[in-house]
Amino acid sequence: MDEEKRERLEAQGWKIGTVAEFLGLTEEEAALVEIKLALSKDLRKRREKQMTQAELAGKIKSSQPRIAKAEVGDRSVSIELLMRAMLATGATPKEIGKVIASVEQTR
């Protein structure tokens, strides 16, 4: 958001902040959300190059709707499921670590 727009909104009584501030998330909670979203995004990118959601679900003994939820960062999906799915697409632990480390660079 440009500075002029920010000043106009604040002059009208609007408070400008982050999603984490709005939701009252701790720094740790915000980091966890960002990590899950980064893993989800990377999972989808990897999976689309190789197989369908149904095929990936079969590989990790899950369901296609669960993979769909994982790929959009649904909060009901565990980090364990995200990592298992990424490993099933051929991601190495080092590559998963890079995805997680990329979150730190954007914070």
At 105, the pLDDT band (50, 70, 90 cuts) reads low
Domain boundaries, the chain: 26-106
Q: At what angle are helices 79-88 and 64-71 packed, to 10 degrees? A: 100
CATH topology of domain 26-106: 434 Repressor (Amino-terminal Domain) (1.10.260)
41-78 residue pLDDT tens: 999 999 999 999 999 999 999 999 999 999 999 999 99
DSSP annotation string for 83-97: HHHHHHTT--HHHHH
CB 70 within 8 A of CB 82: yes
* pLDDT for residue 67: 98
